[in-house]
Structure 1
């Protein structure tokens, strides 16, 4: 079934969202818990109202909008997120979120009644927030947020996660008391831009995800001795930043060793104290991320990295602490949902490519509440998390048509 998508209406919403948190470089900065992201969430809520989807917020802070079916039971859902990384792109998350709303409007326009209810979900804080947690809303909905984390995790300024949640009207206590069984779905489909080169290079408009990679993240703190940079001989120094530099190179070296196993590693965050030109760094924090597929255990390179870090600390006579921020395992998607997506693409006559997702998504965690699937769209030059991130509207329209067809097929008409 081909459902006509009003791509002009979608683009109008997309352009409006692109103005929220727009940076001088033309990117988007809508960080979780920020005023800009709160404006974006209000915009999404208004669009859910306009689509007749009666929005509500669950205890985890996710926004929902439901289109009732004729039968009770678990809904078929779609959605993504509105937050961004610092100075990121405009397509990440937003295409899948506003696209899901447009799909609901287009199904309404077509006068289609489904057996199962259809639902849009806007997840809270999909991008890594200042507390080192990504996919917060979907994790919390699955019951993965405990009291120790909610009340004990703090940012570099000392604000707790629970306080940040309270500032946007979300109660940590309600998250603790949440029952994930109340949020089971028949199926969940997330539409997202690829943020990689596979579709762009192959010139295929649609990717059907077969597995979603998990990520391991660790906060590593080195404590040495802050001292005068002029008065301290080189062989007497306990330089925390120098130790961190060796650790960063160990991450790169180890992950290159395993690159044929689809292992990648990154250190994208570093904090140095006291941060003065003429003072030897006494303390340094870095955050390490290691990603990999289901075909090779991430624990193998991670163990080697941790051993290298401990060796560096001993050699440089600094203290080190390694804190686990998250360890997400990779997941395969639902065969039933993947088959429904392939059937929909065949009905529409669109070529598609089976492919892994090398980036993390809320669908990874929603797999604990639902059978899941994902649609990828081409990213120009494979660019993601950057102001130049771009996906053609023609490809977005194809993705929305596939999403609409698949949701209706899964929900039954």
Structure 2
């Protein structure tokens, strides 16, 4: 089995960490000067290894293996959330470099904007599979400051560059290594997670219409308080969902907006952005049905009618059985008894690449389960172990 150069792998990770450094993490929003510097750094590393580097019109950096196949695609992303962690995404790209350096026939890719700094999100992985239209690029704006995507691409020097697409039949599969971003491995005393699938996220907007009025002169009996109606529905969701959800299902009211949002005015309107996640389509359908039933119940009980709109309805991406089996065997060889299969609760580029080829993912543990924050970290020995498991598993899959 190929052996990675663990010292060089960790040094590359730490070198990349210096670009956009923020406390112990990084700040590299998509198309920022720091992000573009990291993409140039990556292309230099690709060339040193013997890969043929390029960058396309959406910012995807691609290192093409020059030798014969069968080939694998390995990668993730290198932009970060704002003032966030140094490993989220970057780990998978630098692991790809390590596999190429170890002699494996891999193409390495850093997809642009997995973190969703621009409306639409997953711009790079969606673009490379042909699912990002020019019209969507025209419409997209920065979630941070409203900058049009076209302007950001031009400022980054990417305007006019063609956008690459995956070459049909070139790749046997796609491997993505990523930190877990949770505490399952750490709390179980495990060092490796072989991912079974990537959850789908179903998102909704729930709007309550009440009556804006004076907070001091309107009696409690007369009030039509949209805010209270929203809170009562969310409490009912939290009571009911455990009856229909699975063990790893999660749900979140990520934003509650009250209008007009003043301390002495009864809210006349409330808007809730709500999502739930699971890897099973059947569980997702149950949760959807339960949510809609709870909205109907709210409308029978409350003075403020609610309307529900589904904003997105993704499909779970299941990992390839043969690729998982190769990673299982590699994990047992490199870390006997210290690994487990598990689903991914977060979204990843792999869920889009799965539309074009088999995919698999591998997790090392996150210290304290922290991610999307500058304190995000993983032990160096766990990073090196996971990269070696990835190389071992990739070689097994290629040989199968």
Fold similarity call, TM over 0.5:
yes
Q: Spell out, residue by residue over 1:214-239, the C-alpha distance to the aligned partner (whole angstroms, 9 max, x if none).
A: 22122334455555444544445444
Instruction: Give the length in aligned residue pairs.
Output: 397
What is the rounded CA distance, in whole Å, between the counterparts of 2:155 and 2:256 in structure 1?
Answer: 27
Match of 1:101 in 2: 97
Corresponding residue for 1:245?
Answer: 231
Q: Which residue of 1 aligns with 2:365?
A: 378
1:80 alignment partner in structure 2:
76
- Preserved contact between residue 118 and residue 140 of structure 2 (Cα < 8 Å): no
Distance in 1 between residues matched to 2:295 and 2:27, nearest whole Å: 33
Inter-partner Cα distance in structure 2 for 1:41 and 1:13? 13
State the distance in 1 between where 2:29 and 2:274 align. Answer: 20
- Aligned mates of 2:239, 2:204 — CA distance in 1: 17
1:297-336 maps to which residues of 2 (within 5 A)? Answer: 297-309=283-295, 311-312=297-298, 315-317=302-304, 320=307, 322-324=309-311, 326-336=312-322
* Alpha-carbon separation, structure 2, partners of 1:267 and 1:165: 32
Q: CA deviation at 1:388?
A: 3.3
* 1:253-288 Cα shifts (integer Å, max 9, x gaps): 333333445321112234444443334444444322
Find out whether 1:122 has 2:122 as its counterpart.
no
1:218-297 to 2 correspondence within 5 Å?
Answer: 218-222=204-208, 224-294=210-280, 296-297=282-283
Deviation, structure 1 residue 27 = 4.4
Q: Say which of 78, 85, 89 aligns to 1:89.
A: 85
Normalised TM-score (structure 1): 0.80
- Residue 290 of structure 1: CA displacement? 0.7
Question: 1:197/1:151 Cα in 2 relative to 1: closer, same or farther (>3 Å)?
Answer: same
Query: Which string of whole-angstrom CA distances, capped at 9 and with x for unpartnered residues, describes residues 106-162 of structure 1?
Result: x2xxxx4x5xx411111222234453x443322333333456655556677766666
Q: Secondary structure at the match of 2:283?
A: coil
Matching residue of 2:393: 406
Q: 1:271 to 1:168 in 2, by over 3 A?
A: farther
In structure 2, the residue matched to 1:206 is 192
Cα distance, 1:158–1:279 mapped onto 2, change above 3 Å: farther
CA contact (8 A) 1:204 1:353 kept: yes
Unpaired runs of at least 5, structure 2: none
- Aligned residue for 1:298, secondary structure, equals helix
**CA deviation profile, 1:4-38 (whole Å, cap 9, x unmatched):** 4232x3333333433444546x4444344555544
How far is the alpha carbon of 1:45 from its aligned partner? Answer: 3.5
Q: Which runs of 5+ in 1 are unaligned?
A: none
Partner of 2:351: 364
Per mean C-alpha deviation after superposition, the further-off stretch among 393-402 and 76-85 is: 76-85
Cα deviation for residue 243 of structure 1 reads: 3.7
SS at match of 2:171: coil
Q: Is the 8 A contact 1:5 1:400 kept in 2?
A: no
| 1:139 match | 126
Deviation at 1:168, TM superposition (A): 4.6
Q: Aligned partners of 2:10, 2:212: CA distance in 1, in Å? A: 53
1:6 lines up with 2:2 in the alignment:
no
Matched position secondary structure for 2:178: strand
Per the alignment, residue 17 of structure 2 pairs with 18
- For the residues of structure 1 that align with 2:209 and 2:161, how far apart are their CA atoms? 34
Change (3 A) 1:411 1:216: same
